[in-house]
Amino acid sequence: MRISVFGSGYVGLVTAAGLADMGHKVLCLDIDKARIAMLREGRVPFFEPGLGDLVARNMRGGRLVFATELDDEHRSSDAYFVAVGTPPMNDGRADTSAVFAVGRTIAASAARGAIVAMKSTVPVGTCDALQAQLDKDCPHKMSVASNPEFLKEGDALEDFFRPFRVIIGVQDEATEREMRELYRPLQLSSERVIVMNRRSAELTKYAANAMLATRISFMNELARLCDVIGADIHSVRKGIGSDHRIGPSFLYAGPGYGGSCFPKDVSALVHLGQDNGVTLQVVEAASSANEAQRRYVLQKIEGMFPDGLAGKTIAVWGLAFKPMTDDVRDAPAGAVVKELLARGATVRAHDPEASANFAKAYAPAGPKMSYHDREYESLDGADGLVLMTEWRHFRNPDFEDIKARMRGNAIIDARSIWAVFHLAERGFRYTAIGTR
């Protein structure tokens, strides 16, 4: 098939490269000229394991090209994928203006009828509204399908090529057949496609992220309770996760969820309920608990320094919202570092991928804020170490080197991965979340 993908961000680029690798001829578009120039040079503008090689291979094969507007060939695309951003507005609702801008481009440029597949995460009813826009403005018959993405940052290629499910929301059998044909290479080993109507597909995306966010917030609340009553959150996790009705995934306590999806989608779902007269109390509680968890991490840090943080030097390991990404959008470390600086601390930070993005988004380098390529260098003269993101090279550190480099001995483990090392016996003042 000839396919055009609007948007070269995380979802758009993974989708474009993945579809090209499945044998389709793909044009990936973006209005950002600098971004397209970078991609044409073979440089991926964000970190995702394996994506650079996938893009390069399909560019060499002529299956993947980049542009800022539709070319003559792709005005006759078989499918147009919409993968543009839907960021939160000031009131927390999703901004879908970019989606309808793509609709206007398709209406004005398409040379024949085609499928319009919605990859962007959009409020329920957006696909219906886009269909109405295209019916009104496009001279050719366009069939809008909801096709939400379920890509985990850091493991996106695995999720694309071996998905748990491919959700297709359609209103007619012809569109279903076309979408099934597009994803046929993913169906060789097992049936992965689940078909429903468009509104159900749109809601499925929000519901999935809200459910995962709720599990995280639930465990974080239990971890705070464990700290008070002397229980161990790791034991509780194993105990409840062994029940097949619950399962072990997303039951790890930490500093709260972040990233580009969960905070935005939970907020959008809450507002979708409010706009339709339905109060989603569980979803609202998950969001409130997540904000409380970030404050709790700061309380843990402050508890280690009863005389205050002013004048203290704090090393922070991990800035991305999760390992294997350079994404710092709504990262828990952002809120913590900003508060440390506001309280007069000096921060020495290390992250293997996200430092540049973090400096731009939260705290530029300066006298009170420094970034270090090597994790142990960030510890020199530090009064405390805060672990915020559990990159693999943090899992088994050299605690003797840590002790030798630090001025103080406080360790605040927001991911609770170092409890097994019995750090109090090694001369550290150690605190974690939900465990000792």
3-state DSSP of 183-248: CHHHHCCCCCEEEECHHHHHHHHHHHHHHHHHHHHHHHHHHHHHHHHCCCHHHHHHHHHCCCCCCC
**Residue 20 and residue 78 in one domain:** yes
Q: Quickly count: other Cβ atoms within 10 Å of residue 199's Cβ.
A: 16
Which pLDDT value is given to residue 299? 97
Q: In the listed set 145, 178, 196, which residue is the last one of a domain according to the structure?
A: 196
Check pLDDT > 90 for residue 170. yes
Are 325 and 220 part of one and the same domain? yes
Per-position b or e across 317-353, b if 16+ CB within 10 A of its CB: bbbbbbbbbbbbbbbbbbbbbebbbebebbbbbbbbb
Q: Which residues fall within 8 angstroms of residue 422, CB to CB, at 6 or more apart?
A: none
Give me the mean pLDDT over the 231-241 stretch. 97
Residue 417, SS3 per DSSP: coil
Residues 403 and 418 in one domain: yes
pLDDT band at 188 (very low <50, low <70, confident <90, very high): confident
Place of tokens 């991609």: 39
Last residue of a domain, one of 143, 165, 196: 196
The sign of the CA dihedral 194, 195, 200, 203 is positive
Place of tokens 């999720």: 159
- 410-413 vs 79-82, strand pairing mode: unpaired
* Beta-carbon contacts of residue 58 (< 8 Å; ≥ 6 apart): 17, 20, 21, 26, 64
Percent of the chain with pLDDT strictly greater than 70: 100
pLDDT over 90, % of the chain? 97
DSSP states along 262-307: HHHHHHHHHHHHHHTT---HHHHHHHHHHHHHHHHHHHHHHHH-TT
Give the pLDDT score at 92.
Answer: 87
Which residue, of 196, 213, 241, is where some domain finishes? 196
pLDDT at residue 85, as a whole number: 95
Comparing CA positions, the residue from 422, 388, 266, 241 lying closest to residue 316 is 388
- pLDDT at position 317: 98
Mean pLDDT of 51-75: 96
Say how far apart CA 192 and CA 125 lie, in whole Å: 24
- Sheet with 410-413: list strands edge to edge: 369-371, 346-350, 313-317, 384-387, 410-413, 429-432
Backbone angles phi and psi of 386, in degrees to 5: -115, 120
Q: What is the pLDDT of residue 153?
A: 95
Identify the CA nearest to 340 among candidates 373, 372, 406, 294: 294
Q: Are residues 130 and 219 in the same domain?
A: no
By DSSP bridging, strand 313-317 and strand 384-387 are parallel
- What phi, psi does 410 have (nearest 5°)? -90, 130
The CA–CA distances, whole Å, from 8 to 16, 30, 39 equal 8, 6, 9
Verify that 129 and 155 share a domain, yes or no: yes
Q: Compute the average pLDDT of residues 179-198.
A: 89
Residue 263 and residue 322 in one domain:
yes
Domain residues for 358? 198-436
* Cα-Cα end-to-end distance for the chain: 56
267, 385: one domain: yes
As a whole number, mean pLDDT of residues 198-224 equals 98
Q: Is 138 a catalytic residue?
A: no
Q: For all residues of the chain together, what is the average pLDDT?
A: 96
Residues 356-402: pLDDT tens digits? 999 999 999 999 999 999 999 999 999 999 999 999 999 999 999 99
Same domain assignment for residues 159 and 98:
yes
* Residue range 148-175: mean pLDDT, rounded: 96
Q: Both 90 and 183 in a single domain?
A: yes
Same domain flag for 219 and 330: yes
User: Which of the four pLDDT bands, split at 50, 70 and 90, describes residue 234?
Assistant: very high
Using DSSP, state whether 147 is helix, strand or coil. Answer: coil
Residues 428 and 282 in one domain: yes
- According to DSSP, residue 94 is labeled B
The verdict on 202 and 185 lying in the same domain is no
Average pLDDT over residues 270-294: 96
Q: Which of 28, 127, 226, 261 is catalytic?
A: 261
Q: Give the pLDDT score at 1.
A: 92
Give mean pLDDT, residues 286-292.
Answer: 97
- The whole-angstrom separation of Cα 322 and Cα 328 is 9
Contact 250, 208 (CB under 8 A): no
> Quick one: average pLDDT of 37-45?
96
**Residue 263: band (very low, low, confident or very high) from pLDDT cuts 50, 70, 90:** very high
So what's the pLDDT on residue 357? Answer: 98
Read off the pTM: 0.93
Q: What is the DSSP letter of 167?
A: E
Instruction: Give the CATH number for residue 332.
Output: 3.40.50.720
pLDDT tens digits, one per residue of 291-342: 999 999 999 999 999 999 999 999 999 999 999 999 999 999 999 999 999 9
The maximal CA–CA distance of the chain, rounded, in angstroms, is: 74
Q: Give the number of other CB atoms < 10 A from CB of residue 132.
A: 12
State the Cα–Cα distance between residues 271 and 94, nearest whole angstrom: 9
Number of domains in the chain: 2
Instruction: Return the pLDDT at 189.
Output: 72
HSE-up (13 A, CA, CB side) for residue 250: 16
Q: Is the pLDDT of residue 187 over 90?
A: no
346's enclosing H/E stretch is strand 346-350
How far CA 1 is from CA of 78, 79, 377, in Å, comes to 6, 8, 51
Query: Of 33, 25, 28, which is closest to residue 7 (Cα–Cα)?
Result: 28
pLDDT band at 29 (very low <50, low <70, confident <90, very high): very high
Looking at residues 85-96, what average pLDDT do you find? 92
